Structure 1
């Protein structure tokens, strides 16, 4: 799964993305980001639980979970009708699973704002409006075909018509589709249309150097807006991140301490994006490696096994599971088993974030 980074002109989107990609060149474990193409990269998801598990196994290597980020072309008002790079923007955002919107939350007379003033909520409204207009167009184009098929008595087409009309009514109330209540069947139909406002959103507040914790009035207005929609806000100073990315590991650590940051903002951003995508991690552990595997929240044990290899899912028998708390308490898997804390779960087991697993399967 992947998340797309979007934003209006001059909000710091490119500065942030370039800082992330540049940071990989310094070969620091704190900045595990690599560029796939000029506008794509894979970023590791920092997870302190990996270090805890590794302490007891002393593995040859540690492999964290990872996700793909895409730097999507900037948007301007009118993108839904082709203004600026509108068509390119919309086509790219259809391909991602979540949206990371960089919002300007700093004042700088030398950096002109496209709207003439810095207003985070207004910036969000511009992009949200363009996405809603694009969704309306998609639904309008789909409705006629669905209605014609429905008139022939096709039951599935009738359901599509009902869902399309429900979505249209929601958008006409100027509400993004991610806020609309859907059952599983309706959600499946909506997913088939690739609707933009149905995607989850994470807001990145690009803050000034004197507001790294994001407590200033601009960020607070963004937080208030995000709270109403259930979205997260991550404060990031793209300027400082770009400077940190240029430093070697020791100098980075010193600079982070000097500005009062416990870790790079990349770490917070990666974890928040992971959550926004509806993902969680389980672990496998041994002397060779300790590894985090990415699965959707709600995945079953066989589905989780299939992430390692499809044969694991096909031949799944059972999974042996324990938690990090048990590992810390008993220190060895043999002791966990002797204490009766190693659980045996079957095909119906719903994986929990942080499970440490051994899968048994038929070859």
Structure 2
């Protein structure tokens, strides 16, 4: 699963991404970061539950879950028609699973806004419009071929035609596709199109160093607009993050304390993107390692086991489960078992965020 970082020119997108990729804090064993390509990176998702587990189960390694961040080319009005780096932007954003949009919420006369004035709502609308225009073009191009196949009796093509028409009708109301519901079969039928306005979005309000809590009216506008589409908002000062990324651990901790922050933006953005992607974590815990594993919300126990290895899902027998709260109450897995708190779940069990599991399988 990966999230693409997007934004208009001069909103702080590249500053933020570069700070994340250069962060020395992210190179520790618990929160590793490695650059894959100049515009891609793997970032760990900080989770304090890992630390809580290791207070009772001491492992040789602690492994958090990760996600990929992709720095997508800057966007300008007309990107859907190839303006600026529009074509590059479109090709990259089709491949990601979620969008992290950086929105400028600070005034600085030395950093000129591409539109001449700082207006986060206009920025959000510009990108949303480009996504929808690109989707309209994609759907219009796809419809004739789908209709031809449907006339030939292709059942999936008929589903595709129905889905395309519904999407076009929805886009005609100036609403992104993420705000509409389609039957699962129709979603699958058009999944190969990579429709961009259907992707979930996380808004990152890039604030000034004097407004780290995001109290500026500009930020409130972002929150209000995000609430209308069911999106989350994270406040970040990209300038501050770029400075933090240059510091060693002791100096970074001191600077965070001075500005009243508990953690760098890397942690906040990673958790926000993880949630936006529809992911949650379960844990495996033993002397070898304590590890977080990513699963989509609603995953069953066999599907969760398959994240570790496909053989685990194929040969799934049962799952032994307990909670972190059980561990903190009884202090060890042995005591949890003796207290009758270790649950045995089968193939239909739907995983809960934070489950600690052992899988039994046979292949």
**Per the shorter chain, which TM-score range?**
over 0.9
The answer to whether the Cα contact below 8 Å between 1:5 and 1:102 also exists between their aligned partners in 2 is: yes
Q: TM-score, normalised by structure 1?
A: 0.98
Residue 321 of structure 1 corresponds to which residue in structure 2?
A: 321
Deviations 1:315-357 (A, max 9, x none): 1100100000000000111111111110000111111110000
Instruction: Tell me how many residue pairs correspond in the alignment.
Output: 363
The answer to whether the Cα contact below 8 Å between 1:26 and 1:248 also exists between their aligned partners in 2 is: no
Structure 2: how far apart are the matches of 1:183 and 1:218? 37
The answer to whether the Cα contact below 8 Å between 1:26 and 1:247 also exists between their aligned partners in 2 is: no
Shift of 1:30: 7.8
The answer to whether the Cα contact below 8 Å between 1:24 and 1:31 also exists between their aligned partners in 2 is: no
Shift >6 Å, 4+ stretches: none
SS of corresponding position for 1:57: coil
Deviations 1:289-332 (A, max 9, x none): 10001111111111111111111111110010000000000011
Provide the aligned C-alpha RMSD in A. 1.2
> What are structure 1's unaligned runs of at least 5 residues?
none
The answer to whether the Cα contact below 8 Å between 1:104 and 1:206 also exists between their aligned partners in 2 is: yes
Residue 72 of structure 1 corresponds to which residue in structure 2?
A: 72
Residue 342 of structure 1 corresponds to which residue in structure 2?
A: 342
The answer to whether the Cα contact below 8 Å between 2:31 and 2:46 also exists between their aligned partners in 1 is: no
Shift of 1:11: 0.3
Shift of 1:61: 1.2
Rate the CA distance shift 1:205–1:108 in 2: closer, same or farther, 3 A.
Answer: same
Residue 304 of structure 2 corresponds to which residue in structure 1?
A: 304
Residue 104 of structure 1 corresponds to which residue in structure 2?
A: 104
Structure 1: how far apart are the matches of 2:27 and 2:152? 61
Rate the CA distance shift 1:178–1:26 in 2: closer, same or farther, 3 A.
Answer: closer
SS of corresponding position for 1:165: helix
Residue 206 of structure 1 corresponds to which residue in structure 2?
A: 206
Structure 2: how far apart are the matches of 1:343 and 1:105? 48
Shift of 1:26: 7.5
Residue 360 of structure 1 corresponds to which residue in structure 2?
A: 360
SS of corresponding position for 2:23: helix
> What are structure 2's unaligned runs of at least 5 residues?
none
Residue 171 of structure 1 corresponds to which residue in structure 2?
A: 171
Matched, 1:290 2:290: yes
The answer to whether the Cα contact below 8 Å between 1:205 and 1:233 also exists between their aligned partners in 2 is: yes
Deviations 1:180-199 (A, max 9, x none): 12221222223232101010
Structure 1: how far apart are the matches of 2:259 and 2:31? 18
SS of corresponding position for 1:350: coil
Residue 4 of structure 1 corresponds to which residue in structure 2?
A: 4
Deviations 1:255-309 (A, max 9, x none): 0000010111111110010000000100000111100011111111111111111
